[in-house]
Copies of this chain bind each other. A is one copy, B any other.
């Protein structure tokens, strides 16, 4: 199965899918003729093996919901080490088992954790602070692929270590894009432990960048989260009359038996393939698009992620 978290590669608004046969046929033809791929989807489908990097199993958080439905979050330890350490500790303590998805606010977030706020936290959590919302650029000697376009929220943006990043001269931080996961908190200086998490389900609420910790992104089950009924309580919390979704378990993939372990790869954002992907994302000029935008928003060029057998 192939994912672009979160958009489909076929981002067109056809009246009906009839024309899909043309697209698929077109892809096959161009592969045979060794033409460069015309769409981001075709490019990703043809990406060479060396353009992909395995996601470490202890960076995959596997959440099983009532009814056996599954959501998988890729953690970002490079950019959010303190909070990710806590999230790993919480998963190893089985802390989320029996908690719930209890807030769904339209065009904003789906949030989960202990709605009672009374469940004791594991003793081994690390302290966090607003300083954890970004990293010093100097401490991150990693390759940055520049983003193609101007951004409304940061002086510079790009892609690094498999993630979109926003930057100023000193700091680098993860943006609040669709499907990205952050850490709920109370008023500052509280920076959240990592026990209360949310996923973005609408237009990127980038005003939250550097006001809250971003710790990862959903790589499986996003459509499940985004289609949950909206809560009618304040801020979209479910009222007692509404059905909060029970969380059966949350585990790191590395703690699952080998046979049950999901495996994912993300496209190497330092690869030539990813640079080509960005170029195509910014310049759609295939059979449906007459007029390439010549640019693409940081949150509209999701790093391709795929499940592997």
Contact = CB atoms under 8 A, between A and B. Distances in A.
Interface of A: 6-8, 10-17, 19-20, 104-109, 111, 113, 115, 117, 130, 148-153, 177-179, 182, 184-188, 192, 196, 198, 201-212, 222-223, 226-230, 233-237, 281, 284, 287-291, 293, 295-300
Taking chain A's interface residues, is the majority helix, strand, or loop, or is none over half, making it mixed? loop
Nearest to A196: B15
A115 B16 contact: yes
A104 B212 CA distance: 31
B153 A151 contact: no
Contact of A152 (B7, B186, B229, B295): B295
Nearest to A283: B207
Contacts of A10: 234-235
B11 A297 contact: no
A237 B17 CA distance: 8
A120 to B, nearest CB: 15
21 contacts: A8-B108, A11-B208, A13-B111, A13-B198, A14-B185, A14-B235, A19-B186, A107-B226, A150-B152, A152-B295, A152-B296, A152-B300, A178-B203, A187-B287, A201-B202, A202-B226, A203-B297, A205-B300, A210-B291, A211-B289, A211-B291
Instruction: Please name the 7 residue pairs, one residue from A and one from B, whose CB atoms are nearest each other, closest first.
Output: A149-B152, A150-B150, A106-B223, A17-B234, A6-B107, A152-B295, A178-B203
A13 B226 contact: no
Contact of A284 (B17, B106, B192, B207): B207
Number of this chain's copies in the complex: 2
A299 B203 CA distance: 7
A182 B11 CA distance: 14
A16 B237 contact: yes
B187 A11 contact: no
A13 B185 CA distance: 7
Nearest to A21: B234
A105 B8 contact: yes
B152 A188 contact: no
A298 to B, nearest CB: 8
Given A152-B149, A184-B15, A202-B7, A296 B223 contact: no
A226 B300 CA distance: 18
Given A153-B293, A203-B203, 5 more contacts: A8-B108, A13-B182, A15-B117, A15-B185, A153-B297
Contacts of A229: 227
Contacts of A13: 109, 111, 182, 184-185, 198, 208, 212
A212 B223 CA distance: 25
B7 A117 contact: no
A106 B6 contact: yes
Contact of A107 (B109, B182, B222, B233): B222
